[in-house]
Amino acid sequence: MFYRYIDIEMQLCLLTKDNAPALYELTTRNRAYLRQWLPWVDGIQKPGDTDYFIGACLKRFATGEQMTCGILYQNQLVGVAGFNRYNYSTGTAYIGYWLSRDKSGRGIMTRAVKELEQIAFNEKGMNKIEIHCAVENTRSRRIPLRLGYKEEGQIRGAENLYGRRVNHVIYGLLKEEYLQR
Ligand SMILES: CC(C)(COP(=O)(O)OP(=O)(O)OC[C@H]1O[C@@H](n2cnc3c(N)ncnc32)[C@H](O)[C@@H]1OP(=O)(O)O)[C@@H](O)C(=O)NCCC(=O)NCCS
């Protein structure tokens, strides 16, 4: 099973069916908070929906299409981070993340993203990481900015958040920039 020790209080682990009850509870507890920025929240209505989601992620992990990890903080599941997809032709990995509201503001996601960078560049042989954030999602945008990603532009009408169409800002980090950082 994929497991990464980040530091004494934080680890990343591939989500498996064992995590389904805790992930469902976390999603339900943070529903209103996550709904501001994530389009899939209303699709999770019963525990089986989370179970199905994890099963689909595991299949796509096995085929090398994505990697979806749980974030363990003080031995509790507090969020999700990983590669939503890879483009093997360009060597680009696309990071996505979310965290329980009560655990934000502690640098948890910045630490998780740094670990994902190591995996992408040093283990998966990727050449670039992209993070796409809604323009108004300032907390999310602060993560790539803090880590020295370059703003590459915007995609208009990139996402439909329950009828609210938002533009995305794209942040990118090349391997050479990662090595210089
Ligand atoms: C966006 C989101 C992931 C940010 O999570 P987070 O853990 O708070 O983000 P960070 O890791 O950047 O934490 C930064 C904060 O921790 C503080 N911090 C403490 N220790 C730190 C450390 N070691 N390293 C970095 N920051 C640290 C920073 O000062 C900063 O505080 P501030 O928010 O008051 O400025 C979270 O708010 C979230 O899940 N939002 C809803 C879903 C969402 O928007 N997902 C992204 C869609 S693109």
What does each of the 181 residues of the chain score in pLDDT, given as a tens digit?
789 999 999 999 999 999 999 999 999 999 999 999 999 999 999 999 999 999 999 999 999 999 999 999 999 999 999 999 999 999 999 999 999 999 999 999 999 999 999 999 999 999 999 999 999 999 999 999 999 999 999 999 999 999 999 999 999 999 999 999 9
Kindly report the pTM of this predicted structure: 0.96
Q: Specify the pLDDT at position 114.
A: 98
pLDDT at 1: 76
* Ligand 1 atom at minimal distance to the Cα of residue 137: 44
d(CA 135, CA 64): 30
Domain span at residue 34 reads 3-180
- Number of Cβ atoms within 10 Å of the Cβ of 34: 21
CATH assignment at residue 109? 3.40.630.30
| Nearest ligand 1 atom, CA 112 | 11
CB-ligand 1 contact for 31 (6 Å cutoff): no
Compute the radius of gyration of the chain from its Cα atoms: 16
Identify which of 29, 73, 103, 140 to mutate to test ligand 1's pocket (most ligand atoms within 8 A of the CB). Answer: 140
Q: Is the CB of 73 under 6 A from ligand 1?
A: no
Shortest-distance atom of ligand 1 to CA 104:
8
Q: Looking at ligand 1, which atom is closest to the CA of residue 100? A: 39
Whole-number pLDDT of residue 159: 98
The strands making up 92-99's β-sheet, listed across from edge to edge, are: 3-7, 10-14, 67-73, 76-87, 92-99, 128-134, 164-174, 150-161
| Total of domains in the chain | 1
How much distance in Å is there from the Cα of 86 to the middle of ligand 1? 24
The CB-side HSE value for 89 (13 A sphere, CA atoms) comes to 0
